[in-house]
Structure 1
Amino acid sequence: MNEFVERFLETSERYYRSESAPEKLTEAARDFQAGLTELMSQTASATDQRGYVDATVSLGRKVVKTHISPHAMRDLDAWELGEACKEAIAEARLVAAEQFKAQVGDFPDRFKHLDPAELVRRNRV
């Protein structure tokens, strides 16, 4: 599991009911949020099956950029181009999810229902 996740879990379990808990937990939460924000800003890329569209997404699943080849404009109609874009973005999101899991590993059971990207967006970490 990524080191910032490990540190957060270790700190929260160690100081949960101690007198120094508020300060230690606040510091651990800030470190956790910073690490998660940095992780979510990393990118992953993929291409549709026919090679017409390249898509790059953040590990937080946000589309960062797309590139449509000139051949796509010539060879595809509007519907096919849209499908190629959706395919490339979906594939990039799968790659991003794999990268995220490779870097963080499996979250403990008590965190499995949480979406880290949503926590960062809402500043709830």
Structure 2
Amino acid sequence: MKLLQYVAIVAAGLMAMACEPKPYIPQPPQGTAEHTVIMYLAGNNNLQTYLEDNIRDVISSVDVSTPSDNGRIVIYFRPRPASGDPMLLQVYYDKKLAAVQCDTIRTYPAEMSSSNPETLRKVVADAKVVAPAKE
């Protein structure tokens, strides 16, 4: 009988140790915001470093006082081909982490030209799905 109790206690202890809390994964804002700002940065030229500075400036300007239900920031960035594929980013403040997050929402094929009006239409359509807004 004591052996059975001992086995039950050890098994319960092992199960308790195995139940680690899941790591927190930041979640971008959900729902419809008042407005969404879309930055369309085509840096397939010698201005790429300035566009990267602009992205860093946007990220550094977002803080706890930036309400995600009031507005969203979505950035389309087209770097030089050697630097990577075009991407759609979302910048937001995660209250639980107390930190700004910049998530890559989507990447686009490298051959997609940012000067093509169809690309702009595609990016705006994707932004509307990811960061819907009233305006």
TM-score interval (norm. to shorter): under 0.3
TM-score (norm 1): 0.26
Which protein has the bigger strand share? 2
Structure whose CA Rg is larger = 2
